[in-house]
Structure 1
Amino acid sequence: MSKNTQYWLMKSEPDAFSIDDLKKKGQEHWDGVRNYQARNFMRDGMRVGDKVFFYHSNCDQPGIVGVAEVATDAYPDPSQFDPKSKYFDAASSRDNPRWILVDVKFVKKLKRTITLKELQADPALAEMALVRKGNRLSVMPVGAEEWRHILAME
């Protein structure tokens, strides 16, 4: 792990896009982020080579299921300009796009799901954004120590 590497967690509903889908595709854009704070993390924080926990949300067993890597710098999310897309934003323009995305590439699927309940019960992760009450962001930073601790849980 490079000392400049940053760590992130990105949530996806597995019936919309799962770790297995990413594995099949190899690399995919992470579109549809429509929260300003999550957008800002991607736009201002993420860099090519950063590591990402792939998290399955809104499912029977939410948790971390894999590892990905940021493959591109942030660029405008084309779905915001498509009136047929559920992510269309009439207030956004090509000259001043409101929403961005990054591409992520598959690194590995974990041997098992590290569940949200496990993460919440671990005192070493008490300050992690994911386990704090009321945090529903789809993209969030993960500390380097949290990253190492979670990988060791696998």
Structure 2
Amino acid sequence: MRLISLLKQEEKFIDLVGRRPAVPLKDAIIESMEEAPKGTIFYYDLNEVREVNGSGIHEVIVKPLEWLYENYKSHEKFLILKNLSVEYDHLYNIQITCNKEKVSIIAQNDESYEVIGNKAGDALLELLNLTYLHKQVTARDLAKILDKKHTLIATHLTKLY
């Protein structure tokens, strides 16, 4: 996994509040994603982030996610979040913005994860949970586990991907 630091060199933390200061950061993030090798998994360490609001989240999380969605066939790159802060209500604020913008992102904490945003839906979340549990699984394996048709599971996995 490759860290995308949200900090400038001299900073110890950042606030993702407001659109204006977040736009140059978003542009740098997308440029970094574009230049990375195919298959790269990026993450933001939210220990670097204190305050967040919808505008900052939209620029730094939603727009890069939209770029990834639009270009997934050519690059196979992904973004996750790590170390969400309870103190700064990261989960709550990111959840509201992701739901409003109809995107989902994975937040990883230690050995577990959480899907933020309701775009995925129950069927895809079930597949994600099984995939996470088994670490490596095929559509046939999942179809057998869930007693569903292979083609249905394959379609759902493509959406999840």
What is the TM-score when the length of structure 2 is the normalising length? Answer: 0.24
Larger radius of gyration: 2
Greater RCO, CA 8 A, separation 6+: 1
